[in-house]
Structure 1
Amino acid sequence: MLKKVLIFILLSVTSYQVTCAKDANCLKYDYSHLLMNNNILGCIGNGQRLYIHFDTVYKDKEKAELYHVAGKTRVKDNICSFTGNVNISRFKQVDTEYYPVKHYKMIAKYEFKEDTKQYGAGMFSGRLESDFFIYKDSVYMDEINNEGDGYCNNQYKGVWKSYKTNVIKKANFGIDRIPDDGGLDVGCSEFMVDRSKQHLGWETYMMLISPDSKRYHQALAEEQREWWKKDKEKFVTWEIKTEKRKAFANIYINNKYIQSVNLISSFEYTVEQDDYNFDGHRDICFSPRDNSWGIYFLWSPAEVKYIKTKADNITGLRYTVPELKVIITLNYDNKNNCVIWQMYQYINNHYINKQNTNKRSINQHIDNPFVLYSRLTSNYTTPGYLLEETFSPDGTVLSIKHNPTYDQLNPKWQYYRLYEHLDEIYNKNTDYSE
């Protein structure tokens, strides 16, 4: 009997050591970029909308499991600053058979303390689950199935406790979905708020799902607010009008008229605010609904207004990729059964330095500041890539790669196409492609 007990203890200790070894290996990575994801939906109490924004997240220099966090919360119009921490408890490996990377779930405790001097302040605490994978010794957020029904990540489940009254309310938030939402979410493919609870701060969110609403543009402006900047926020709104067959938009910042910009008549527009030239200031783009092009206006701090910029070459489905400081478009060539991705970079001063025939350096003006940097082409029906082309700002071809493998692609394309690359390996391993 004693021998069996000793064997059980030995096996338990060995198992514990293996678990700790795995955790220690995972702890060597920095997860701050995963925790900084601000694509957050949240609710507090009976379903009242809760906004969360992370300003900074960084890993402790001595405790590998500890992350320091600072940010803002908002309920209705009340904004509070908070500081706190995320403390990793353990990791759980959740690998899928045949998948070419190791999937993990990070399980952690969190505690976010709002500023005691601010109105309605309290403390958030609870449990966090975050899904990620490791590829070539780097950590990536697990977004492999982010277009699938019910996808979610960074699920914070816990409570909020008032400093003043000690009242405790359920407070949960996360990426794309909210854990334990109490019946708030009735959507299948995406987050949808139950009609009976839309009045709890969800009206503008739901208006964007039904864009025929007369208040669509008001809702669009509200949902794109940078509310976490508080008194430094530039709340941009607009009115689109048509007079004498001419269309224009009046733009306001913090309810103050700034300027009018010309549009094209007979279109219904959607409006997107983003930093298209990556200078730290949000710009604005007016895009006709169901069309693949836009009218770009870049913010000029010097002139304190938006300046129209030529971007005729940016057509197709558009994606701004801040990590690479590029805009990527997606187009389909149905005649040749091809998919074409194009990567654009912004040239700040619209000039490039070029050598003339006498090998003298000259400046050449670029009419379109968004220059094509690279083009990647693949076929609908076969895996892999047909062609990668890279260009100089003046349009000169710098390199051409025929039938490149993923590992032969430009590092920027490798970064952008990583998830599709992993899917292709998975399909090959499972013979799913056949």
Structure 2
Amino acid sequence: MFTVTSICKAQGKVVDYYTQAGKANLTSLWHAPKIYYVGAPEPWDTFPEPIGFIGSNYQRFYIHYTSVVKDASNPYLYKVQGKTRVKNNICSFSGTITVRQAKRHLEPNTEYPQYKYGYLICEVDLKEDPKQAGSGTITGKMTTNWYIKEQGQFAYDTLEPFDGFSNNECVGRWTPYNGGPSKVCNWGDFRIPQSGSLDTGVGEFYVSDKYINNGWQNYMKALLAGDGKADGKEALAEEKRAWWNGK
């Protein structure tokens, strides 16, 4: 899996783009009804739900932002609200995403050289509701890839949505309020960073048989159904279910 360092090396030279990022509203990089896949026959699709894990046993972790709003006084701070889920335990959270770095790649994109593109390095600080069971805090660093649309706006990077595609990769830790030990808590769109032996896929996220029983049964059933390998209509529906709304 890519770390921040390996992303930078893979893409070559970069220049600072922090001032430009501060002038923009970046909320649609993390929360929007849909994203636009550049060059696709049917370019609009629903915004991806992150996939994640928590703990050394790679228990499946869900996170959904219900609101992302740019702070009125700090141009690099975004206030977020949402919900997390582990098994059937759901917690509300509020917190912040803070942009710490913004870089633009100098080398043209191989598919679409007309677009500027780059990445953000952000700090994530989330606090689950302490009144809810199994709650705690989550802190981490997230890498978000973007490109600049014709109108000059930052957009979710879909310039090369090929094998291994990912975005919004967050490496974090969850710390319970009850004083127990903290746990690794990572997530991302389409792939999970630093997922070790959990992810055995090449072109897409694919769960190792060793960890399927840690909350990944439905995900894999839906994945295989999507590939035409199994009858998994119920599994596909479950993956699309708006659990954060109690549905």
TM-score of Structure 1 vs Structure 2, range by shorter chain: 0.7 to 0.9
User: How far, CA to CA, are the matches of 1:95 and 1:200 in structure 2?
Assistant: 42
Q: 1:26-425, aligned counterparts within 5 Å?
A: 26-36=21-31, 37-45=47-55, 46-97=57-108, 99-135=113-149, 136-146=151-161, 148-211=162-225, 212-213=229-230, 216-230=232-246, 233=247
> How large is the Cα RMSD of the aligned pairs?
1.6
Q: After the TM superposition, which segments of 4 or more aligned residues of structure 1 sit over 6 Å from their partners?
A: none
SS of 2:218's equivalent in the other structure is helix
TM (norm. structure 2) is 0.81
User: How far, CA to CA, are the matches of 1:210 and 1:158 in structure 2?
Assistant: 29
- 1:38 deviates by 4.4
**In the comparison of the two structures, how many residue pairs are matched?**
210
User: How far, CA to CA, are the matches of 1:207 and 1:152 in structure 2?
Assistant: 21
Asked if 1 retains the 8 angstrom alpha-carbon contact of 2:108 and 2:116, the reply is no
User: How far, CA to CA, are the matches of 1:220 and 1:23 in structure 2?
Assistant: 40
- 1:34 deviates by 0.8
Percentage of matched positions with identical amino acids:
36
- 1:221 deviates by 2.9
The structure with higher relative contact order (CA 8 Å, sep 6+) is 2
Structure 1: gaps spanning 5 or more residues: 1-17, 234-434
Indicate the structure (1 or 2) with the bigger Cα radius of gyration. 1
Q: 1:328-353 CA deviation, whole Å, 9 max, x = no partner?
A: xxxxxxxxxxxxxxxxxxxxxxxxxx
Asked if 2 retains the 8 angstrom alpha-carbon contact of 1:38 and 1:54, the reply is no
2:239 aligned partner, one-letter code: E
User: How far, CA to CA, are the matches of 2:221 and 2:20 in structure 1?
Assistant: 46
User: How far, CA to CA, are the matches of 2:204 and 2:165 in structure 1?
Assistant: 8
User: How far, CA to CA, are the matches of 1:39 and 1:110 in structure 2?
Assistant: 17
1:144 aligned partner, one-letter code: L
Asked if 2 retains the 8 angstrom alpha-carbon contact of 1:47 and 1:182, the reply is no
Q: Which has the higher strand share?
A: 1
User: How far, CA to CA, are the matches of 1:90 and 1:157 in structure 2?
Assistant: 16
1:40 aligned partner, one-letter code: P
User: How far, CA to CA, are the matches of 1:26 and 1:224 in structure 2?
Assistant: 32
User: How far, CA to CA, are the matches of 2:148 and 2:199 in structure 1?
Assistant: 31
User: How far, CA to CA, are the matches of 2:147 and 2:108 in structure 1?
Assistant: 14
Asked if 1 retains the 8 angstrom alpha-carbon contact of 2:29 and 2:156, the reply is yes
2:18 aligned partner, one-letter code: D
TM (norm. structure 1) is 0.47
User: How far, CA to CA, are the matches of 1:184 and 1:228 in structure 2?
Assistant: 25
